[in-house]
Chains A and B, each alone.
Chain A
């Protein structure tokens, strides 16, 4: 079965600093990988998804993720954090059933 592991349940960065949220996947077949963001009291919103067309995927709000098969990773980055980036971020994998399996989430805190 496919799964994802998110390292670090809480990450705190200063405004303007690099954001790095880690995600490792386990999959016996080429994975379909996603990053979602959840703002307080809101549903999940897609940030980006891996399409296999390119290993570096650009998403909304300046986020990007790089698919590294050798490391089974799909880490999320943003060069410069903004206060509005404070939220919970979920990595997810689809096993081909169309349903997603989510990681445990990483809460990003941005300090002024």
Chain B
């Protein structure tokens, strides 16, 4: 398997523009997670899905952020409008069904820079 695939790897956009980050989880995995990594706040969970259904979105910073999972093989994280403080590395991870200590597999991340 190719692992979790995220695109783009790097994104530079101007403040106010819409940004869409994409993720393809590992085939057969039932859980999908979006994390954000910054120097100030470390790794934060934004939202996660189980069987394409959002389970917990309490980490989504504000209404400018939205995430969807239209099918088992694709998810998007959208920021509209983007702001400089959204600059971060965004990770997608997926995990199979199983015991609670089943690990998550991470993509390589999307480095977002909002200027």
Task: List the interface of chain A (C-beta within 8 A of B).
Answer: 32, 34, 36, 41-46, 49-52, 90, 94, 96-105
Contacts and interface: CB of A to CB of B under 8 A. Distances in A.
B108 A50 contact: no
Contacts of A51: 101
Most buried by B among A32, A96, A98: A98
B40 to A, nearest CB: 10
Nearest to A47: B103
Contact of A98 (B4, B42, B100): B100
B48 A105 contact: no
5 contacts: A32-B100, A43-B93, A51-B101, A98-B95, A98-B100
Contacts of A103: 42
Given A49-B101, A98-B50, A100-B45, A43 B91 contact: yes
A44 B100 contact: no
Contacts of A102: 42-43
Contact of B31 (A44, A45, A90, A98): A98
Nearest to A97: B56
B104 interface: yes
Across the A-B interface, the 9 shortest Cβ-Cβ residue pairs:
A43-B106, A102-B43, A32-B101, A44-B106, A43-B108, A46-B103, A104-B42, A99-B48, A99-B45
